Copies of this chain bind each other. A is one copy, B any other.
Amino acid sequence: MKPTLQAVADAVGVSRSTVSNAYSRPDQLSASLRERILDAARQLGYPGPNPTARSLRRGFVGSIGVLFTSQLSYAFTDPFAVRFLAGVGAAAERHGTSLLLVPLPPGVTDARRAVENAAVDGFCVYCVADEQWALDVIRQRGLPFVSTAPRDNAGDDERFVGIDERAAARSAAAHVAGLGHRRVALLADSVLPDAPAGPLALAGVDQVPYPTTRGRLTGFADAFAEVGVGWAELTLVNAPGNNRPAAAAAIAGLFDQPAPPTAVLAGSDVLALGVLDALAARPAHDRPIVSVTGFDDVPEAAAAGLTTVRQPAEEKGRIAAELLLDPPADAAAGHVLLPTALVVRDSTGPVPRS
């Protein structure tokens, strides 16, 4: 058994408090005694105060949770998520705080349990899909958190960092509409909880339960409404699991239909890259000319010449962590909206005249 702080105290012949002070408050005891204590600790093989016991007594842990409301693997698969994490990590590093990545088991009950059991001082919630339950648990625990998705029922003191999803998406769609496109497909991850991959009929964009997806789709729709193309005329395509193959598979069939879309607006770069994959997979003589836009501007987008909406990924993570780690006194400052920019590259162009 590893020796405890008590053992060290006994060995040196001082009180437990003094040994504790030797580690945590060197100014509370003489340098010489401190040396004696640390020596004895070394001799006994005492590894320093037990972190768990310390956390219990102190009332805080020294680490923050990063919650992906999805499989944990998402965090490392999606390049945007990786950059976000990098930002969180940078801020955490400055604060000497550790990052706890909590995997969520399938099923809300178990997932709730996982969030309840996480030993952290707060959460950065990276919202993939539904997140309400997670926020509920965190609130119940009384822990601070920062969310990255717009929420309807946010409390006043609840912190947020994100972008104006709707306006950002609209800028991409306006660009495509300006190029003359009218037969357009909108490609999104998690449009509805359990919808299958492929085209999906939806009465209106307000039926989409997930705020981020809904925001972007609404922005797309906005721009086309302005040029006289209504929601019903847009083809909505669901690509569950935000990844390239899924997107490619979901969109592939579309180009063989009569009057195929001349443009695809994707809800993320990863999906957009999947569309490009699907196009590249076709023989050159049967490859339609399709404009494609993404969202995020991940590193791969530039190489692929993808027109996209840039949002600052690392910045988002960094600010999320900072809002969590030292909350602004002013509640309004806890609500950060980051700038976005349309980045036009080669993947969009005028409608081919056929």
A residues bordering B, Cβ < 8 Å?
A: 2, 45, 47-48, 50-56, 61-63, 71-73, 75-77, 82-83, 85-86, 89-90, 92-93, 96-103, 105, 113-114, 116-119, 137, 140-142, 303
Contacts and interface: CB of A to CB of B under 8 A. Distances in A.
A112 to B, nearest CB: 9
8 contacts: A2-B142, A45-B140, A48-B117, A48-B141, A56-B56, A63-B119, A98-B102, A119-B119
A51 B82 contact: no
A73 B52 contact: no
Given A93-B71, A142-B47, A303-B303, A63 B100 contact: yes
A189 to B, nearest CB: 19
A52 B63 contact: no
Contacts of A142: 2, 47
A19 to B, nearest CB: 15
A73 B86 contact: yes
Nearest to A103: B93
Contacts of A72: 89-90, 92-93, 99
Q: Which of A72, A85, A92 is the most central at the interface, judged by chain B CB atoms within 10 Å of its CB?
A: A72
Contact of A53 (B2, B51, B54, B56): B56
Q: Which of A48, A85, A118, A119 is the most central at the interface, judged by chain B CB atoms within 10 Å of its CB?
A: A119
Contacts of A105: 96
A62 B100 contact: no
A76 B89 contact: yes
Contact of A47 (B63, B101, B102, B141): B141
Given A72-B99, A89-B103, A98-B118, 18 more contacts: A45-B140, A47-B137, A48-B116, A48-B141, A51-B117, A52-B119, A53-B56, A71-B93, A73-B86, A73-B89, A75-B89, A76-B83, A93-B103, A96-B114, A98-B100, A98-B101, A99-B101, A119-B119
